[in-house]
Amino acid sequence: MSNADNTKPKNTKSLTEDRRAFLQKSTLAAMSAFLGTDIVHAATMPKDYKPVALPADFDPMKGKAEGMIIRNEKPWNVEPAPHLLNDAITPFENIFIRNNGLIPEDIDVNNWTLTIAGESVSQEKTYRLDELKQKFKSYTYQLVLECGGNGRAGFYPPASGNQWEEGAVYNSQWTGVRLKDVLADVGIKSDAVYIGYYGKDKHLNGDPNKVVISRGVPIAKAMQDETLLAWALNGKDIPLAHGYPLRLVCGGWPASVCGKWLHKLVVRNKVHDGEKMMGDAYRVPKYPVAPGEKVPDEDMKIIESMPVKSIITYPKSGAMFSSSKKLTVQGHAWAGEYEVKDMQVSTDFGATWQKCILKKPANRLAWQQWSIDLDFPQPGYYEVWAKATDDQGISQPMVMPAWNPKGYLNNACHRIAVKVS
């Protein structure tokens, strides 16, 4: 085969058709979101032109850091290794992706609306996205979002679902309006007890009438200052895979309650009964059960605040270093609705513990940075174990917590291996 033949594009017709279809479905704002920045001279860009940097097909991995682990491509589920989470504010490239359905590609941000409905609103009301931005005061908070199944890989017998290790968590900066301000503008009845969300994600089976996921939180959580209708992540439009252009954000609770591609909220006079609110979805037994035991539905409870937890982000497991100098170990700690009050590490398998320097959170529901300089008595193999304690006096367990059918809430101490020469 000649060199010319080697360079000839393959499947040219298919790519062209894909690009044309993409352009037909996308708005200028959506293209900007894909690129992660504004198209400065958009006004002079030829009609139907596709920016060179725009991929033929949307790729959620575009812009993500090397070392991200793809758990699934349909739906997209992607996890960073713990050492990629060393930043105080997690950058986009290191944020995990957890989706239940297909990412919507036909977003028209200029006509995007949010409807507040449900049996406990005084009157249904719909807001345009720009109306939300202009009518209400905006707020910015650092908030921890963690998958309820983070750490699932540690359970035995194995629980079904993505085998998340330690990286399905992050702390980024969200900007939006407070949900409670919008609900006050709508008017809610005294019998309101719960909210539920609906997004624009598409079911894996292609059925446009089937809801992928519709979870919610009690009205008390919805009314917290930090519960936002957010349009910006770390000062920029929320990336498409993370919920562009509007997302519900409830820090400290399982990230599944933070509805992506948000276009409808319902205020309920009962516990929301949307998709993945029942059965063993984001629910755990009310009491300890034996591994593998079948639990009656009435004995399951909804996960609310996430448990106290910490992670070692520096060095990464397997590091080798000299005993001639101290080893600085760093990480983060968080505790759902609470604050972490104490952070300790052990290098002797939990026989003794050393107190770490622990910073205050940037704001309520943000994670906290910790660090410690460690000495090792002699060359050899060591493990560093990390343990956080919250302001309620609850500490991370050193062994796996109670088994549950879907492998939720594993907050056992994170451990790394180091070799001292």
pLDDT in tens, 357-388: 999 999 999 999 999 999 999 999 999 999 99
Amino acid in the structure at residue 204: L
What's residue 47's pLDDT?
A: 65
- pLDDT higher for 281 or 52? 281
H/E run at residue 18? helix 12-25
Q: Within 10 Å of residue 68's Cβ, how many Cβ atoms?
A: 20
Confirm if 22 and 14 have CB atoms less than 8 A apart.
no
222 strand-pairing partners: none
Confirm if 233 and 239 have CB atoms less than 8 A apart.
yes
Confirm if 202 and 107 have CB atoms less than 8 A apart.
no
Q: Where are the beta strands (DSSP E) in 30-137?
A: 69-73, 76-79, 97-98, 113-117, 125-128
d(CA 135, CA 152) in angstroms, rounded, equals: 42
pLDDT in tens, 115-151: 999 999 999 999 999 999 999 999 999 999 999 999 9
C-alpha distances out from residue 141 to 60, 77, 390, Å: 25, 25, 21
Q: For residue 189, is pLDDT > 50?
A: yes
- Position 10 confidence tier, pLDDT thresholds 50, 70, 90: very low
pLDDT in tens, 230-272: 999 999 999 999 999 999 999 999 999 999 999 999 999 999 9
